[in-house]
Amino acid sequence: MIKETATVVAVDGDFITVEAAIKTTCSSCQAQSDCGSGVISRALSPRTQQLSLRSPVPCKVGDTVRIGVPEAGVVAASLWLYVVPLIVLVISAIGAGQGLPRLGLHSELWALATSLLLTFGSFILISGHLKKIDQTRFQPVILSATVSTSEIYTPQK
C-alpha cells in the first residue's frame, strides 16, 4: 500500500476532497541548486494534488487523513499503459517496415506513421479498458483520520 498524509479541504456529504503535497526526489538531492532538472521541476510542477474520495468517518475541513493506494493496482495500470504500447510500437515498426514495401510504400515515413498510429490506438484502447474495469483496485482509501480534536480514527476492515 502506498501511503500519504493529506489535509481535508472540502466536505460534501460522504465525500471529502483532500490535498497532499507532491514530493519529488529533487528536494533531497545534494546537487539541487546546480541541477537544471531540479530548477525546471520546481518551476513547472504543481506543489499540491487534490483528490476526492468517500470517507468512512465524518471529517471537517482542516482534518488530517492518511490515505493509501493499493500498490498492485498502480503497478498493473503502469504496466498496461507503458509496457504494452511500447511493445506495440516495436512490433508494429518491424511489421510495417517489412510489410509496407510489399504494398509499394517504400518510404520510412509510412512505417513510422503506421507504427505511431497503432501505438496511439493501443494506448487509447488500454486506457478505455482500464477505466471500465473494477475501479476499486485503483481507488485510494482512508487508512486513518486525525480529526481536529486530536482523536485518531482507523476504519475497521
Element (H, E) at 65: strand 64-69
Would you put residue 11 in left (φ > 0), alpha (ψ -120 to 50) or beta?
beta
Q: What integer pLDDT is reported at residue 51 of this predicted model?
A: 82
Mean pLDDT for each consecutive 10-residue tract of the chain (157 residues)? 86 87 65 65 69 83 86 83 93 93 90 95 90 72 70 57
- Residue with C-alpha cell 486530536? 150
Q: What integer pLDDT is reported at residue 74 of this predicted model?
A: 79
Rounded to 5°, the CA angle 106-109-111 comes to: 70
Q: What integer pLDDT is reported at residue 142 of this predicted model?
A: 81
Q: What integer pLDDT is reported at residue 60 of this predicted model?
A: 85
CB 26 within 8 A of CB 41: yes
- Residue with C-alpha cell 539541487? 32
Give the length of the chain: 157
